[in-house]
Structure 1
Amino acid sequence: MKAAVMTGIGAPLEIQAVDLSEPKANEVLVKIVATGVCHSDLNALNDATTPTPTILGHEGAGIVAAVGPNVGKVKVGDKVALSWVPYCGTCEFCVTGAVHLCESAFEPMFAGTLLDGTSRLSKDGEKIYHNSLLSTFAEFAVVPEMSCVKLPDDMPLAQASLIGCGVATGYGAAVNAAKVTPGSTVAIFGIGGVGVNAIQGARIAGAAKIIACDVKTANLEIAKTFGATHTINVAQENVEEALKELTGGFGVHFAIDCSGHTGATESAWRAVRKGGTVVVVGAFNSTVSLSIPAGGFHRVGKILKGSFYGDTQPFRDFPAIAQLYLDGKFMLDELVLDRISLDEINNAFNSFHDCNCINVGRSVIEFETVPALKGNSGTDELEIVS
């Protein structure tokens, strides 16, 4: 198959023909139809701990082409969105509903393998590593069954590809982690691919005021189209004073920090009212520290909560988001900034270095028109025919 291969840290991806083995037990072969290019892919490209060669890509959607033994959640021909954090379903976190905290995926994820510690990817007999247990920058992917979430048949796959990362994280930060309530006030810090979906989550949860906070005027204008009722340019205004002014001096009920900057979290903490909640989904640099006032901490009753993946439960949240989109209540079309071919992938990576480039959405790689699909056995395998 054709794939974009990372051959070295920071090096341009190379379009190569690589081999993909058939799925094993509890694995699914997916024909990738669309995949988003996320800033996290750039982070992986520049990360010295990423094993090479590897095929990046973790925001994908496609059609189930074959299933391995013991697979029961999907069948051949299903449209699926892919989750890059599969879970075991049996550990202490999973059985209490906190599937986003399951640790089963992380050891193989960091090792560049699938869940059993091996790879299905190779070239000329030499192993190629997986990325986030998915590797969607390729025409096909073998992935864990727990990464495959069935979607409605009428769901377009370019839009569906974005659900599995930034969309679910932002939506989940508001709906699952913060638990935004009807009539409440919400501040969103960092209006990028996650922040706009936190805005959408807050809107769907019924917030009365949704206040977008960012340094980019263009992003703040875009935020209004996704449901922000007010905007604050934090480079031009005192964000804490502005938020309190918008809330009768009390501060917001909820603040969601998608920026990854500790300064934003500190501002969010000071800008939420007594009993308010601050949710952090942005990843901090490990070399910095977070400082919040210790004096009177117990008296203000505030909650500071970290949220990984927006506390997402993929098999619940992905179909819900897809249905909200199909019902006209969730904006996904506007998040597809550009539709490109796999051969143009390095251009998408280069755009991340342009500070003027709009980052509220994704470039989406679309593979050639989905070929005719012919069931070989009706349940186990799909023959791809031209």
Structure 2
Amino acid sequence: MRITGAVLERCGAPAPFADSRPITVGPLDLDPPGPGELLVRVESAGLCHSDLSVVDGNRVRPTPMLLGHEAAGVVWEAGRDTTTAVGRRVVMTFLPRCGRCDACGTDGRLPCSVGGAANAAGTLVGGRVRLRRDGAPVMHHLGVSAFATHAVVSETSVVPVDDDVPPDIAALLGCAVLTGGGAVVNAGRPRPGETVAVVGLGGVGMAALLVARALGHEVVGVDAVPAKLELARELGATAYSPADAAEAGIRAPVVVEAAGSARAFETAFAVTAPGGTTVTVGLPHPDARASIAPLTLTAEARTVVGSYLGSAVPSRDIPRYVELWRRGELPLDRLVSDRIALDDLPEALDRLAAGEALRQLIDF
């Protein structure tokens, strides 16, 4: 079928992207779903820092590539050997989980090795490419490629949700909430009454803040952008710039780093209390290096944990977040900073790179 999508032509284009224009929006051909695959009509997709990291070259992927990995939509057609019903709304997640490899047996601690290999290659699970432009293949972004009117995905990349979950809320569940919330719930595991600090209040960090608040924890938010600190305060957190947090001597038992920079990691480590856990979910440049004192790990019995996709098992975790949302305890609509069209992506990427946005949603 003929679809419209946003294709990244090359990694590493210089900012501002509104000038370098690394993305082309136009027609593509999408093959029908094969065995174990679904054709999804995309309803809403979020622009995430993981998209930006491919555009700016921090995460090099094969191009041309149809971007977008956080989305929700309706199943339009089901391939053979699938169980998800046509017409069902689904959350698309950026890490397929085969459920059979050794990594899938770690209860979310390790990313699925099958899904990870497909993501690195720019294919769907099994090595298939379903996108074409002028007869040439266009690669898939993290098994989703949601910046388009339709997507073919592996059934292992989706989690069905009920129709009462609107598309924009469902889309946020696929990355921001899974990653940020999971960093708290699955990796940090704060005990009742413990304070959670979040360093980096973008979409993922603010989602971590919201989930921690929904679970009854006091939350400290740390960011250099005043508008994000103000929003954190509105959401019930205390908030500091990095310098003010250091001056105030903030120390928390569980600290989530969600900014994706060496400096943010160092800040997160500095505000972690003795005996505490620093959870890092950000994706800095591969060459980035942070400096910490190893003695502190021993002398203060500290733990540092890396968490990919919030150490999540999407089929288990997404229903938990949906229930918190239904009860009015998880106001995910506060994560949405802008609603944009496909043609607005270069300018939206510039806002994201400047730290001016949380989640910018594409409504189809």
TM-score, length of structure 1 as denominator length:
0.86
Residues of 2 paired with 1:183 and 1:96: CA distance? 27
Residue 326 of structure 1 and its aligned partner are, at CA, apart by: 2.2
Q: 1:131 offset after TM fit, Å?
A: 1.0
Q: CA deviation at 1:100?
A: 4.4
Which residue of the partner structure matches residue 8 of structure 1? 10
Aligned partner of 2:227 in structure 1 is 218
Could you tell which deviates more after superposition, 313-322 or 26-35?
313-322
Q: Secondary structure at the match of 1:57?
A: coil
Q: Is the contact between residue 109 and residue 307 of structure 2 (CA under 8 Å) also seen in structure 1?
A: no
| Distance in 2, Cα, partners of 1:269 & 1:99 | 21
SS class of match (1:69): coil
1:373 — aligned with what? none
* Offset, 1:99: 6.2
The answer to whether 1:232 aligns with 2:240 is yes
Q: 2:170 aligns with which of 130, 146, 160?
A: 160
Answering whether residue 73 of structure 2 is matched by residue 62 of structure 1, we say yes
Kept after mapping to 2: 8 A contact 1:115/1:144: yes
* Cα separation, partners in 2 of 1:200 and 1:6, compared to 1, 3 Å: same
Give 1:125's match in structure 2, choosing from 135, 152, 158.
135
Equivalent residue pairs, number = 353
**DSSP 3-state at the match of 1:352:** helix
Partner of 1:194, secondary structure, is helix
Name the structure 2 match of 1:372: none
Deviation at 1:296, TM superposition (A): 6.0
Distance in 1, Cα, partners of 2:189 & 2:73: 31
The worse-fitting range, judged by mean Cα deviation, of 288-297 and 38-47 is: 288-297
Partner of 1:378: none
> 1:274: Cα distance to partner?
2.4
Correspondence for 1:272: 272
* Pairs within 5 Å for 1:184-333: 184-207=194-217, 209-228=218-237, 230-235=238-243, 237=244, 239-244=245-250, 251-295=251-295, 297-333=297-333
TM-score for both structures, normalised by structure 2: 0.91
Contact 1:26–1:71 under 8 Å retained in 2: yes
Matched, 1:172 2:182: yes
* Two-structure CA RMSD over aligned residues (Å): 1.9
Greater CA radius of gyration, 1 or 2? 1
- CA-CA distance at 1:289 after TM superposition: 2.6
1:111 aligns with 2:121: yes
Three-state SS of the structure 1 residue aligned to 2:140 is coil
Name structure 2 gaps, 5 residues minimum: 14-20
Distance 2:51 2:296 in 1: 41
- Unpaired runs of 5+ residues, structure 1, are 245-250, 368-386
- In 1, Cα distance between equivalents of 2:321 and 2:296: 40
Cα distance in 1 for residues equivalent to 2:54 and 2:288 = 20
Alignment CA distance shift 1:29-1:329 (3 Å): same
Distance in 2 separating the partners of 1:16 and 1:295: 55
Q: Detail structure 1 runs of 4+ shifted over 4 Å in the superposition.
A: none
Distance 2:71 2:279 in 1: 26
CA contact (8 A) 2:66 2:145 kept: yes
